[in-house]
Amino acid sequence: MKAIIIDDERLARQELKNLLAQYKEVEVIAECSDAIQAAEKIAELKPDVIFCDIQMPGKTGLELVEEISASVDVVFVTAYDEHAIKAFELNAFDYLLKPVQPQRLAETIKKLSIKESSTKTENNSPLTIRDMVFVKDGEKCWFVKLNDIRLFESEGNYVRIYFDNSRPLILRSLNSLETRLNEKEFFRASRKHIINLNFILSVEQWFNGGLNVKLKDGKEIEISRRQAVKLKDLMSL
């Protein structure tokens, strides 16, 4: 796994780099001291995971994550626990408190490795809007047309699927699903959501240049400024 460490404190970066050095499955490919530099490095190097501080000069780590590609796993590393709720709203992979405990980091690396391994074995063949897909949640099973699925919502290592009155939960990553879906039919609205464009009822301007999308079932999805630009380009004449 290619990793980038983002922290405005040099000693904190070095400490985390030393802890990660014992894991052969992790390669630290860059270090960044602020969010602007980090955004450039993430776009250039396309890491699998970032280890990111939250409180930094200029943009915070939370603001950075709202702007970067949703395909990057995010592990927040911070001295403050009050940002945890917001972090997981952004679909953070994990949230580590400073000083980082080796055992706690080991748990994170293990989960990342399991996810990486499962992603490689998943079926990644492309799907069309007319395809039927098999969905299993516990003892319940469905055979549903992809076009009838209005929303995919990430919940940790699982994805909740919305169709009709059903909301089953499957063990799958949102990133792996995104690679199989046609971007002209399904839009990655945020790190946590992929929406079926056919189910959009209305779109309105939201805070900081973002958008608020209302689906036909009444559910509302916030779209960041970065993704809002993509949606406007996608849906404009």
Q: Mark whether 147 and 219 lie in a shared domain.
A: yes
Q: What is the pLDDT of residues 137-193, one digit of tens each?
A: 988 999 999 999 999 999 877 899 999 999 999 988 888 899 899 988 999 998 899
Answer whether residue 42 shows pLDDT above 60. Answer: yes
- Given 81, 100, 121, the domain boundary residue is 121
CATH code where residue 154 lies: 2.40.50.1020
pLDDT score at 120: 64
Q: Among 88, 121, 154, identify where a domain stops.
A: 121
Domain CATH for 13: 3.40.50.2300
82: its two tokens = 């009050």
Strands 49-52 and 73-78: parallel
Last residue of a domain, one of 80, 101, 121: 121
Total number of domains constituting the chain: 2
Residues 192 and 84 in one domain: no
As a whole number of angstroms, the distance between CA 19 and CA 170 comes to: 33
Neighbour count for residue 20 (Cβ, 10 Å): 19
Domain span holding position 117: 2-121
pLDDT 10s digits, 98-122:
999 999 999 999 999 988 776 665 6
In a domain, 18, yes or no: yes
Contact 157, 171 (CB under 8 A): yes
